[in-house]
Amino acid sequence: GAGVSQSPSNKVTEKGKDVELRCDPISGHTALYWYRQSLGQGLEFLIYFQGNSAPDKSGLPSDRFSAERTGGSVSTLTIQRTQQEDSAVYLCASSWSSGRASGELFFGEGSRLTVL
């Protein structure tokens, strides 16, 4: 499709399990972002990729959270040993890199994670 694609759209897991969330950005976009949004809260920045490298991972809340991006395209956000406070909607966005176009971020519909 033409937009940012995220999977799964919904994930229910038990506390202590690991989860992987996937983001497929818009073709040609070199910048990729992960955010999360807890119920009723604002958007919290997690990590930003430029190509396959992550110049800003300042928002990752703990070492249980990691992300990678391969081939300058698909990204995976991994949460190890999930906790109930990890329950949130995890949003991915992509954009052109600096110097191009408007810098507009295109967001996916998110992956809703529920940790029981």
Partner 1 sequence: DAKTTQPPSMDCAEGRAANLPCNHSTISGNEYVYWYRQIHSQGPQYIIHGLKNNETNEMASLIITEDRKSSTLILPHATLRDTAVYYCIVRVAAGEKLTFGTGTRLTIIP
Residue ranges that bind partner 1, judged by CB under 8 A? 4, 31, 33, 35, 42-43, 45, 48, 50, 56, 59, 91, 93, 95-110
With 0-12 / 13-18 / 19 or more C-beta atoms within 10 angstroms meaning exposed / middle / buried, residue 5 is middle
Identity of the residue, 54 or 79, whose beta carbon is nearer to partner 1 in the bound complex: 54
Identity of the residue, 43 or 80, whose beta carbon is nearer to partner 1 in the bound complex: 43
In whole angstroms, how close is the CB of 85 to partner 1 at the nearest point? 19
Identity of the residue, 13 or 37, whose beta carbon is nearer to partner 1 in the bound complex: 37
User: Token digits for 6?
Assistant: 């995220």
DSSP letter for 26, please.
-
User: Token digits for 58?
Assistant: 């300042």
The amino acid occupying position 3 is G
